[in-house]
Amino acid sequence: MDVPASKPIQLSVQLHASNLRPIAYRILSKKHGLNIQTEALKILANYIGTTFGNNWKGAKAQEFLDSLGKLWKEQGRNIFLDAEGVETVIRELNYVSENYHLKSQIKDNVSGSIIGHGKKLELSDLIRTVDDRNNNGVEIYKDDNIHLESKKDEEIKNDDLELKWMDFFRVITSGNQPRYIFNKYRKTYEKDQMMKNDSDGLIRLPSLKSNISLFSTRYSIIQHRLSRNQSFQPPTFSSLNSINLKMSTNSGSNNIVITPIKNLLGRHGQRFVLFGLLFKNNMGGYSLQDESDIIQLEISQCIPTEGSYYCPGFFVVVEGIYSNSGKFYVSTMGHPPAERRDITLDAYGNIDFLGVHSTMNNTNKNLTSTSANGITRVSKELKKKLQILEKELFNHKLIILGGDCNLNDFKTFEGLKKLFLKLSNDLEYNNDYNYPFCIVFNGPFIDIPFVPSSYNSTASAASSSSSAIYKNLFDTLASTLEKFPILCEKISLLFIPGDNDPWNSLLHQGSSSIFPQSPIPKIFTNRLSRLVKNCYWCSNPTRLNYLSQEILIVRDDLSARFRRNNLLFPINTTNYNGNGKENEDPIEVDDLELETPNLTQLTNKDKNGTIISPSLLESRKIVKTILDQGHLSPFALNIRPITWDKDFYLTMSPLPTVLILTDVTCPSFDVTYEGCHTINPGKFMVRNHINYVEYTPSLKKAEFKQI
């Protein structure tokens, strides 16, 4: 008779609060934004020392602290972990753990089980268990066959729940997207309950408070992102042997420690790393500002990190030496590194930022959870189901037309007719009316700015007014689409405005408009909206939710704006002759092409020695800059004005799955950086050919096409 091997006995240890503090700080404070009180830390130290023994530093103990932090936030408690609350959460964790092991033992005697052998207990199961116990007052895990079988049938029903892709296809403009405010003290997002919906078309003036908190909120979001980056983690403990080893080998730590500006006082001659907002001061130089103070920068010897732009309004990380004069002599400047989408979502508890799942019907409510403060969180089970459904819908295509789709040009309509004919034939021959599911039109839809015309009551003057001409453009497009009824019935059309479209063009006359842009007014689009079943007049930018993917669509000439406002570092703009001596010829500062040839010569090869084209270098430079900044308009307000209270809609936290950046001032590109797939379809009409992109969500691939 075989005797089952018994598990080794775990000996408990007496753990002090000071021993556990570094680990608790890293997991509970850094990751979850919670502050633990001394008495609560003592209780945790006693429990972990008793439960995990010598392995109190191991992965299981850290996983327990992580589960405790997640459950604490899911229950809507405050940011301070008190002794009573910690004891309650520990009991709930023990309760679920004991019943989980009980279920595994019952499996051999009961036909079917709730959770099979080898399946990891997820936090969603834990929270659902605690919520059911608290709401119903009934222990859901008992040694009862009837209860286990009913629970099993319920889970099978949930697994077999059929999801329809149309329920998870939403167009979210800046007027109907939920607004979340970042709380820098709790280090999490909170839903703005006072937000007013702008879908009624009314123009509301932003408050002064939104202007004050504009850059401070951006700073807090990026600072919290840096705190999760492994390169910016300060060492929690250093033994005497490791310190002596570093001193003997003159090797420093790989971790980067950011110092607040206020802590530089009296520490001249030392090297520091700073993080803050880069802006141009009154003396014509540049300064850096964080939440503590401002310091003047000296960039004459600065060597910036290659492959990025640096403009006023950016948040940058600088390294240098602090001097007696109060200046900070910068030796290196770089961007705060971007963070992958899944890491950001996990850090904030998988919040439904787009508000798609909060409006779902009751059949899908078991796959999401809504807290008392109105925040909806998406479960991992739902994400997996949506990803599986994406792969099944392999025929789905998203068509993105190039920018400057000028409807007042007859060549544009000739190209659109050819495209509509091709798509109509594809739908008929494939017998699949879900292909393609959406077409994105990128403005501006007129090549001259829309301007008001003087009032004249005569019929001839009314027909030639700018409003009548602009409305006639979309009426002509409606007449063209009438010949393709299958497109009008089955395909969604999205229209993204440009700088020349109303009403923003009335103010800026075709120059850089205020961001974000409002949709084109309905007075110009009535006929087309009646003809097409699913016609969306979107803001710029706008977001598209397709199953598990967030597709961010923006029409902006970022490349030209980056080049116009890029810092000219003296060390990069110095000309040298063949003898290694500096030329005496003056440097033309206004020459926008000055820096591009130098960058091409320095970085035209990758690590493997493969030659990289200048257009690919430029595209990588644009994508890295905007994703590292985590914002669609990371400029100072005098460079690109934005609506103060709508800055949240321009923030990319988390990064989108796909960023469709339509920029006609640079070549088309397809670049992936930190898991964010960035696509630029380029200009719509080039040399009598129309350019567009076919994006396949199931494969996450883009294909550039011409007609």
pLDDT tens figures, 366-383? 567 676 577 888 888 899
Residue 75: band (very low, low, confident or very high) from pLDDT cuts 50, 70, 90: confident
Measure the CA–CA gap between 672 and 413, rounded to whole angstroms.
33
Name the residue with tokens 């705190």.
Answer: 227
Q: What predicted TM-score, i.e. pTM, was given to this entire model?
A: 0.75
**Using 50, 70 and 90 to split pLDDT, how confident is the model at 201?**
low
Contact 305, 353 (CB under 8 A): no
Residue 488: the pLDDT is: 93
Q: Is 244 a domain residue?
A: no
Per-residue confidence at 203, pLDDT binned at 50, 70, 90? low
- Which regions of 549-603 does DSSP assign to beta strands (E)? 549-555
Instruction: Give the three-class secondary structure for 111.
Output: coil
CA dihedral 501, 502, 507, 512 (to 10 degrees): -30
Say how far residue 364 (Cα) sits from the centre of its chain: 25
Residue 198 lies in a domain: no
Q: Is residue 589 scored above 90 in pLDDT?
A: no
CB atoms within 10 A of CB 346: 15
Q: Does residue 433 lie within any of the structural domains?
A: yes
Per-residue pLDDT, averaged over 56-68, amounts to 87
Domain holding 501: CATH number? 3.60.21.60
Q: Which residues of 300-315 are buried (b: 16+ CB within 10 A; e: fewer)?
A: eebebeeebbbbbbbb
Query: How does pLDDT run across 222-251, given as a tens digit for each residue?
Result: 999 999 998 888 765 544 444 444 444 444
Report the range of poorest mean pLDDT among 142-151, 467-476, 526-535, 571-580: 142-151
Relative to beta strand 327-334, strand 303-304 is parallel
User: CA dist 434 to 397, 417, 431, 478, 562, Å?
Assistant: 8, 20, 9, 22, 39
Q: When comparing pLDDT for 533 and 119, which is higher?
A: 533
Mean pLDDT is highest, among 27-36, 138-147, 223-232, 425-434, for: 223-232
Q: How many domains does the chain have?
A: 2
- HSE (CB half, 13 Å, CA atoms) of 492? 17
3-state SS, one letter per residue, for 614-682: HHHHHHHHHHHHHHHHCECCCCCCCCCCECHHHHHHHECCCCCCEEEEECCCCCCEEEEECCEEEEECC
For 261-281, write each residue's pLDDT tens digit: 999 999 999 999 999 999 999
Q: Which of 340-349, 352-361, 466-475, 641-650 has the lowest mean pLDDT?
A: 352-361
Mean pLDDT, range 289-304, rounded to an integer: 95
Q: What is the pLDDT of residue 84?
A: 84
Pairing of strands 303-304, 315-322: unpaired
Per-residue pLDDT tens over the stretch 77-89: 778 888 888 888 8
Q: Among 149-158, 292-301, 321-330, 452-461, name the one with the lowest average pLDDT.
A: 149-158
Where is the domain boundary, 144, 159, 174?
A: 159
Flag whether 265 is in a domain: no
User: pLDDT class for 679, splitting at 50, 70, 90?
Assistant: very high
Residue 440 has pLDDT above 50, yes or no: yes
pLDDT digits (tens, 9 = 90+) for 532-577: 999 999 999 999 999 999 999 999 999 999 999 999 998 876 544 4
Helix (H) or strand (E) holding 278: strand 271-280
Selection from 42-46, 61-65, 600-604, 692-696 with the highest mean pLDDT: 692-696
CA nearest to 626, candidates 653, 645, 590, 665: 653
Q: What is the pLDDT of residue 144?
A: 38
Residue 554's pLDDT is 97
Furthest C-alpha separation in the chain: 106
Q: Is the pLDDT reported for residue 603 higher than 90? A: no
In a domain, 235, yes or no: no
Q: What pLDDT score does 237 carry?
A: 52
> HEC states along 166-181?
HHHEEEECCCCCCCEE
Residue 288 lies inside a defined structural domain of this protein: no
SS3 217: helix
Q: Comparing C-alpha atoms, which of 252, 253, 255, 290 is closest to residue 274?
A: 290
Would you say 669 and 680 are in contact if contact means Cβ atoms under 8 Å apart?
yes
Residue 114 pLDDT class (50, 70, 90 cuts): very low
Q: How far is CA 257 from CA 251, 271, 290, 321, 416, in A?
A: 15, 11, 15, 14, 55
Indicate the residue type of 138: V
Q: Locate all alpha helices (DSSP H) within 268-379, ordered by sequence.
A: 341-347
Token digits of residue 593: 């092409």
Per cent of the chain over pLDDT 90 is: 47
* Lowest mean pLDDT segment, chosen from 104-118, 439-453, 517-531: 104-118
Amino acid residing at 638: N
- On whether residue 175 sits in a domain, the answer given is no
Contact 312, 278 (CB under 8 A): yes
Q: Where do the H-state alpha helices sit in 330-465?
A: 341-347, 380-392, 410-430, 459-463
| Window from 43-57, 163-177, 314-328, 431-445 with minimum mean pLDDT | 431-445
Q: Which of 292-296, 368-372, 623-627 has the lowest mean pLDDT?
A: 368-372
pLDDT at res. 372: 59
Band (607; pLDDT cuts 50, 70, 90): low
* Cα(614)–Cα(574) distance, integer angstroms: 21
Q: Closest Cα partner for 258 from 177, 315, 209?
A: 315
Domain span holding position 40: 17-159
Gyration radius of the chain's alpha carbons: 29
Residue 418 CB contacts under 8 Å (≥ 6 apart), including other chains:
690, 707
Higher pLDDT, 341 or 157: 341
Which residue, of 132, 159, 186, is where some domain finishes? 159
- pLDDT computed for residue 573 by the predictor: 65
Which pLDDT score is estimated for 17? Answer: 85
Q: Under 8 Å CB-to-CB from 546, ≥6 apart: which residues? A: 165, 168, 169, 390, 398, 697
Q: Which of 571, 595, 569 is nearest to 582 (CA)?
A: 571
> Could you please report the per-residue DSSP string of 28-60?
IIIIT--EE-HHHHHHHHHHHHHHHGGGTTSHH
Whole-number Å distance between alpha carbons of 123 and 66: 10
Q: Is residue 438 part of a domain?
A: yes
Mean pLDDT of 599-603: 41
Phi, psi of 272 (to 5 degrees): -140, 165
Alpha-carbon gap, residue 689 to 411, rounded angstroms: 9
Q: Confidence band (pLDDT; 50, 70, 90) for 117?
A: very low
Which position has the higher pLDDT, 617 or 359? 617
Q: What is the rounded CA–CA span in Å between residue 249 and residue 421?
A: 71
Q: What is the mean pLDDT of residues 335-349?
A: 94
